[in-house]
Structure 1
Amino acid sequence: MENTKKVPVLRFPEFSEEWVVKKIKDISTIKSGSTPLRSNKDFFKNGHIWWVKTTDLNNSNIIKTEECITELALKETSVKIYPKNSVLVAMYGGFNQIGRTGILKVDATTNQALSILNTNEKVVLPQYLLTWLNAKVNLWRKFAGSSRKDPNITGSDVAGFPISFPQISEQQKIADFLLQIDNRIEKLIKKKQLLEKYKKGVMQNIFNQELRFKDNEGNDYPDWEEKELGDISDVRDGTHDSPKYHQNGFAFITSKNLLANGSIDFENVSLISELDFNNFNKRSKVDIGDILFGMIGTIGNPVLIKTSGFAIKNVALIKEKQELKNIFLVHYLNSSLVLKQFDDVTVGNTQKFIALGKIRKLKIHIPSLPEQTKIAKFLTEIDEKINQASKQLEGTKKYKKGLLQQMFV
């Protein structure tokens, strides 16, 4: 077999040899797993043997699985245990799933939706293979889309998948370098998760009034009062019309554009004419400082508006009055006290929906204006830390993606 040789754009300076291009079948064994009969509960109940499914794949180390199987399943079915450093590839599940990977850091079994690759480690290191597959995940689309109707891949596709690789010492250095970046990403993910968990807990304590703020003199603020949202805020909704969309124009925001992180997705929006924009804004003009709240499909995801110049549909528009500050309300609307009320009033069989009248009837516990300001400031500072961690995480992921594009042939 004649080898094709190439070199990457970005490389460690001590290496100069050309890379070899082969197929996975040339450097690895390829096997698949199995699923014990679900109807036999003895195959799963109190199991302790790791059993990997596509949803367990994280493009990185696999140290545990969602489900386990029993010794009986291992004995009476075709399920087999695969060793540490086996590389797994998802074959089914459409374009969002195929090509997902993982590398076993524990001995484990798998289901039939995965290919199990065990490399000749004198030729290709398992960690390098994992990194290569992650860098070339989009190539699976060509395999899946070219030969069959369903966007899945087969064992033959995996066998024929190309891989470029250098000598072992360079593979090791590449894998170690990228592992450092993966560790950085993992730390940022944990940092963000801890901040989110902390905010959730402290919000519960604040809005249940278990944690109270004091004024600048150290005195208690007045007791909170319970009122309906419609009595203390101007609550209206956007247009009910379905305008014609255009290539250029003004953004038309609906519930689906309200994101859980408190921002608006302006990239995936429809555009409307200036005439429709002006007509819709006679009824529900969105101003900076207002709150948008999803009513159809996406329920909730309140957003405090920081920019204007768009129209709305299928969202509630909450304008501030004197008694209740929106900088406080936007946090309260994300609390468990409000979410519980949504569970009670959400209606609709195929699509979630909450009527405007129900939003106006939401019960809100209101502190004094000075305490509202302190609470909003405190929670906003936590949000800023979460956003900073998110930016660091996305920046590191983008940096890694750029490296992957240049470090491999």
Structure 2
Amino acid sequence: DWEQRKLVDLVDRVTRKNQDLVSELPLTISAQYGLIDQNEFFDKRVASKDVSGYYLIENGEFAYNKSTSTDAPWGAIKRLDRYKNGVLSTLYIVFGIKENNPVDSDFLVSYYSTNLWHKGIHEIAAEGARNHGLLNIAPADFFETKLMIPQDIEEQKKIGKYFEELERLITLHQRKCEETKTLKKYMLQKMFPQNGHSVPEIRFSGFTEDWEQRKFADFTWDAGKRNKEDLDLEPYAITNEHGFIRQRDAHDDFGYMKDTDRKAYNIVQPNSFAYNPARINVGSIGYYKGVENVIVSSLYEVFQTDNYVNDRFLWHWLKSDEFPRWIEKLQEGSVRLYFYYDKLCECQLYMPSLEEQEKIATFLDDLDHLITLHQHKCEELQNIKKFMLKNMFI
């Protein structure tokens, strides 16, 4: 059976001051990143210049930040893992596990990732509860809070190890995702010609010919047709993040078209691009690769390309640094800036043979798939963690 224990039976309060300036590293607690360097988290130092009066916290010790936030309505309790030591404001409550190890440290880290301890904090928070966003909690009351733990320390270790491993996997996929995004950004710069050059810096072997400069007017045409016959087609919207998305799945700002006159909307055929001329500067463009026609707001510009253009190649160019430069140069308007199809037609890009376009598109698509894979893996693991945190503790 698990047993109820008071925190004071398991840990000792730490009140050592940094009077010998053992550390000059001011820390803060983030609900997401744990105990972290203030400079890294805030991009500035919040601590005062003289940190000799601060608490000195050592690696493996815990701290409770009584500041509340959306992510941490009752504050956050984290262990110092990233650094050998650091300093914390005396507003924090710092503690370490007792010498006879009555509780496993990793188990405690996992326990304080649940919301089971919130009830105890809620009960001791003084009336008025908050002072400048800080919960009004006396350290003596904090250490009287109770938690349920397995009597067998081996079970504690198993649970702690399990969550440590989950966290390691989540971090691994997050890092892989960021690395792949960085690689893609780099390759977008290097695989398209820059600064007036007619060839890119990085090419696949076997391709040596110069790329040809072409205007959008040469290889695209306006493909937006009004839904005059009032066909019952699925309404779509375009978001910055996801491109084409069914309007019913989109944000409320788009509204829903069930009571709208569908004849006023544009038909979009498969393999078409569409964008919002008022939001193209923030990436509001999509490519529709479905198999059936859909409809979008008549505010959108819709276009298709000639058969010597690989649409995925063009898509990646539109997402490179080059396209936003053209938008900035050509968009028009006084209060709100617009970028209609006639302006798009003035844009120019260098284009290789269809075979080289396909190679580039496939390479960049593969990077996109890798990014998505790591994102999905991350979400999956976070869902498992959330479920297990809910079900492995009492």
TM-score (norm 1): 0.69
CA distance in 2, matches of 1:163, 1:315: 57
CA distance in 2, matches of 1:339, 1:79: 48
CA distance in 1, matches of 2:104, 2:130: 34
CA contact (8 A) 2:61 2:95 kept: yes
Give the alignment partner of residue 32 of structure 2, picking from 31, 44, 58: 58
Is 1:225 paired with 2:213? Answer: yes
Secondary structure of the corresponding residue to residue 225 of structure 1: strand
Counterpart residue number, 1:180: 165
- Give the letter for the 1:269 counterpart: H
Compared with structure 1, are the counterparts of its residues 86 and 299 closer, same or farther at alpha carbon in structure 2 (3 Å cutoff)?
same
Is 1:304 paired with 2:283? Answer: no
Offset at residue 196 of structure 1 (A) = 1.8
Secondary structure of the corresponding residue to residue 207 of structure 1: coil
Offset at residue 59 of structure 1 (A) = 4.6
Matches within 5 A, 1:256-295: 257-259=239-241, 264=245, 267-270=249-252, 271-274=255-258, 276=260, 278-281=262-265, 284-293=266-275, 295=278
The Cα offsets for residues 169-202 of structure 1, whole Å up to 9 and x where unpaired, read as: 3222211121112112222222222222222222
Number of residue pairs matched?
A: 358
Offset at residue 210 of structure 1 (A) = 1.2
Compared with structure 1, are the counterparts of its residues 89 and 115 closer, same or farther at alpha carbon in structure 2 (3 Å cutoff)?
same
Counterpart residue number, 1:42: none
- Give the letter for the 2:268 counterpart: V
Structure of larger gyration radius? 2
CA distance in 2, matches of 1:330, 1:272: 28
The Cα offsets for residues 358-380 of structure 1, whole Å up to 9 and x where unpaired, read as: 55544332223332222212211
CA contact (8 A) 1:292 1:317 kept: yes
Give the alignment partner of residue 329 of structure 1, picking from 298, 311, 314: 314
Counterpart residue number, 1:49: 24
Secondary structure of the corresponding residue to residue 180 of structure 1: helix
The Cα offsets for residues 219-249 of structure 1, whole Å up to 9 and x where unpaired, read as: 534523142x35533468999xxxxxxxxx9
- Give the letter for the 2:208 counterpart: D
Secondary structure of the corresponding residue to residue 54 of structure 2: coil
The Cα offsets for residues 19-40 of structure 1, whole Å up to 9 and x where unpaired, read as: 3265x56755678999xxxxxx
Give the alignment partner of residue 371 of structure 2, picking from 386, 391, 396: 386
Give the alignment partner of residue 165 of structure 1, picking from 124, 141, 149: 149
Counterpart residue number, 1:129: 108
Offset at residue 131 of structure 1 (A) = 1.1
Identity %: 17
Compared with structure 1, are the counterparts of its residues 125 and 277 closer, same or farther at alpha carbon in structure 2 (3 Å cutoff)?
farther
Give the alignment partner of residue 73 of structure 1, picking from 47, 50, 54: 50
CA contact (8 A) 1:291 1:304 kept: yes
TM-score (norm 2): 0.71
Give the alignment partner of residue 135 of structure 2, picking from 127, 138, 154: 154
Q: Any unmatched runs of 5+ in structure 2?
A: 194-199, 227-232
CA distance in 2, matches of 1:131, 1:33: 26
Pairwise CA RMSD: 4.6
Offset at residue 61 of structure 1 (A) = 7.0
CA distance in 2, matches of 1:263, 1:137: 41
Counterpart residue number, 2:202: 211
CA distance in 1, matches of 2:299, 2:117: 36
Offset at residue 65 of structure 1 (A) = 5.6
Is 1:108 paired with 2:74? Answer: no
- Give the letter for the 1:223 counterpart: W
Q: Any unmatched runs of 5+ in structure 1?
A: 1-16, 35-46, 240-248
Offset at residue 253 of structure 1 (A) = 2.3
CA contact (8 A) 1:238 1:314 kept: no
Compared with structure 1, are the counterparts of its residues 364 and 176 closer, same or farther at alpha carbon in structure 2 (3 Å cutoff)?
same
Deviates more, 1:262-271 or 1:125-134: 262-271
CA distance in 1, matches of 2:147, 2:309: 61
- Give the letter for the 2:377 counterpart: Q
CA distance in 1, matches of 2:90, 2:279: 39
Compared with structure 1, are the counterparts of its residues 30 and 128 closer, same or farther at alpha carbon in structure 2 (3 Å cutoff)?
same
CA contact (8 A) 2:12 2:96 kept: yes
Compared with structure 1, are the counterparts of its residues 65 and 348 closer, same or farther at alpha carbon in structure 2 (3 Å cutoff)?
farther
The Cα offsets for residues 124-146 of structure 1, whole Å up to 9 and x where unpaired, read as: 44432221121228958x959x9
Matches within 5 A, 1:348-359: 354-356=338-340, 359=344
CA contact (8 A) 1:19 1:165 kept: yes
CA contact (8 A) 1:33 1:112 kept: no
